[in-house]
């Protein structure tokens, strides 16, 4: 197919559904920002932005999340492209959505050049967003729910040392289900890459819980041997 210039006048954007888990109030939260510029200046949206023609999307996602949260390294995966012709008032803008997971305690929310007043919202109290960002959010949340059961993503949302009650509550909150405590723990006991740190939780009111650690190296060795993660 010949490529007349008229094809080269679309724009690419990324939008990031950034999730964090708040142990304090046991809520899954999503990061929303107020748009600094038109269209929809001042209104709530997912963090994101247009991508330079020579910029990689991974780079764009890193920059966006880092500029808002201050975090350097975090889990991210592409969800899918959102391509409705009329999704953006300024022209043809295809948005590639990313699911990002961060640890709340590493986050330092700051205004950036394109995102003011970033804030965490419990996923079930999310206000309406601009563009098709409600749809993107729903799709990303479904992906998170799906992937949480088959990939070790929970550990991206917790501190490197965590307790089993914390882990179980995280699963229950994100998946909106209940797990039997003993069955849940038995399943984890088979996962050799979840290690007892021999430490216990500090500063808690009653019996302190043991702290565990997710060993990424052991997990990737296990995975190469064909062992699958499943909750």
Q: Can you tell me the distance from the alpha carbon of 20 to that of 65, in angstroms, rounded to the nearest whole number?
A: 12
Find the part of the chain contacting its own copies (CB under 8 A) among 23-31, 89-97, 154-162, 184-192: 89-97
| Least distance CB 165 / DNA (angstroms) | 3
- Quick one: 2 or 127, whose CB is closer to its own copies? 2
Write out the residues near DNA by the rule CB under 7 A.
Answer: 163-165, 180-183, 185-187, 200, 204-210, 230
46, 12 Cβ separation under 8 angstroms: no
- Quick one: 112 or 166, whose CB is closer to its own copies? 112
Q: Can you tell me the distance from the alpha carbon of 61 to that of 49, in angstroms, rounded to the nearest whole number?
A: 9
If binding is defined by CB under 8 A, does position 199 make contact with its own copies? Answer: no
| Least distance CB 52 / its own copies (angstroms) | 7
Neighbours of 194 (CB within 10 A): 19
46, 128 Cβ separation under 8 angstroms: no
Find the part of the chain contacting its own copies (CB under 8 A) among 49-57, 160-168, 181-189, 200-208: 49-57
- Quick one: 67 or 166, whose CB is closer to its own copies? 67
If binding is defined by CB under 8 A, does position 3 make contact with its own copies? Answer: yes
61, 83 Cβ separation under 8 angstroms: no
Which listed option, DNA, its own copies, none, makes contact with residue 186 (CB within 5 to 8 Å by class)? DNA
If binding is defined by CB under 8 A, does position 230 make contact with its own copies? Answer: no
Q: Can you tell me the distance from the alpha carbon of 193 to that of 155, in angstroms, rounded to the nearest whole number?
A: 12
Cα angle at 130 between 15 and 175, to 5 degrees?
Answer: 60
Q: What is the dihedral of CA 188, 191, 195, 201, to 10 degrees?
A: -10
User: Which position among 26, 84, 119, 192 is part of the footprint of its own copies (CB under 8 A)?
Assistant: 84
Which listed option, DNA, its own copies, none, makes contact with residue 55 (CB within 5 to 8 Å by class)? its own copies
Q: Which of 229, 210, 207 is nearest to 220 (CA)?
A: 229
For its own copies, what does the binding mask look like between residues 63 and 82, x meaning CB under 8 A? Answer: ---------------x-xx-
């Amino acid at each position: 197919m010949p490529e007349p210039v008229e094809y080269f006048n679309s724009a690419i954007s990324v939008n990031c559904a950034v999730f964090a888990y708040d142990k304090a109030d046991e809520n899954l939260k999503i990061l929303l920002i107020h748009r600094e510029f038109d269209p929809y200046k001042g209104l709530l949206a997912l963090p994101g932005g247009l991508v330079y023609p020579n910029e990689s999307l991974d780079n764009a996602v890193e920059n966006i999340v880092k500029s808002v949260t201050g975090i350097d390294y975090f889990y991210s995966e592409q969800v899918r492209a959102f391509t409705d012709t009329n999704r953006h008032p300024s022209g043809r803008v295809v948005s590639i959505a990313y699911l990002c997971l961060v640890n709340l305690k590493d986050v330092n929310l700051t205004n950036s050049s394109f995102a003011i007043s970033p804030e965490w919202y419990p996923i079930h109290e999310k206000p309406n967003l601009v563009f098709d960002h409600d749809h993107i959010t729903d799709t990303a949340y479904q992906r998170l729910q799906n992937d949480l059961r088959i990939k070790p993503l929970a550990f991206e949302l917790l501190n490197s040392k965590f307790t089993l009650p914390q882990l179980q509550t995280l699963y229950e909150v994100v998946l909106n289900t209940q797990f039997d405590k003993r069955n849940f723990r038995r399943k984890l006991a088979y996962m050799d890459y979840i290690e007892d740190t021999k430490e216990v939780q500090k500063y808690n009111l009653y019996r302190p819980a043991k702290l565990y650690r997710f060993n990424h190296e052991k997990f990737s060795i296990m995975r190469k041997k064909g062992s699958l993660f499943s909750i």
